[in-house]
Amino acid sequence: MRPTRRTTPNRVDGYRRTPAVTIRWATPADAGSLAMLAELDEVAIPPAPHLLALVGEELWVALSLSTGEVISDPFRPSAEVAALVRERGRQLTATELGRPRSGVIRFADRLRAPRRFANPARLSVSGTRPRD
């Protein structure tokens, strides 16, 4: 009897296997792939920096972080991948806009902030309270 080779099934427990989605920064080596994607979508390449979404090894979506413009492969079902890239782009730019990421950071900012007095009109020029 000949041993059978077991291959990875296309379906596991009723779910179809899909390739991994990778979201990463664009590098100069991605210029050719980005140009091809823009040509497929019939648009110009938006300004850098870009986030790229690759499904398996293929580039499906690119997001310009400076304009928010998305280009995608029109021959692929890329709407959900584009939503993932937009969300990741929002997360990356939210920290740059000064939004704190956690309550601990907000608390630390409050500790570093200068103290404010309730009634600045009652302060003298030297910054001390006048005697009544």
Over the stretch 81-105, which tens digit does the pLDDT of each residue have?
999 999 999 998 876 555 555 555 5
The pLDDT value recorded for residue 75 is 94
- List, in sequence order, every residue forming a beta bridge with 53; answer none if it has no partner: 23, 61
The pLDDT value recorded for residue 18 is 79
Per-residue confidence band for 16, with pLDDT thresholds at 50, 70 and 90: confident
Peptide bond into 49 cis (omega under 30): yes
CB 27 within 8 A of CB 59: no
CB 81 within 8 A of CB 53: yes
Per-residue confidence band for 129, with pLDDT thresholds at 50, 70 and 90: low
Buried residues in 22-44 as b, exposed as e (16+ CB within 10 A) = ebeebeeebeeebeebeeebeee
Higher pLDDT, 103 or 47: 47
At 61, the amino acid letter reads V
32 is written with which tokens?
């050719």
The pLDDT value recorded for residue 93 is 83
Of 94, 46, 99, 108, nearest to 71 by C-alpha is 46
**Residue range 69-79: mean pLDDT, rounded:** 94
pTM for the whole thing?
0.60
Instruction: State the distance between the two ends of the chain, measured CA to CA, in whole angstroms.
Output: 106
Which residues, 6+ apart, have CB-to-CB distance to 104 below 8 Å? none
Highest mean pLDDT among 66-70, 104-108, 120-124: 66-70
Q: Check whether 115 has a pLDDT greater than 60.
A: no
**Residue range 73-78: mean pLDDT, rounded:** 93
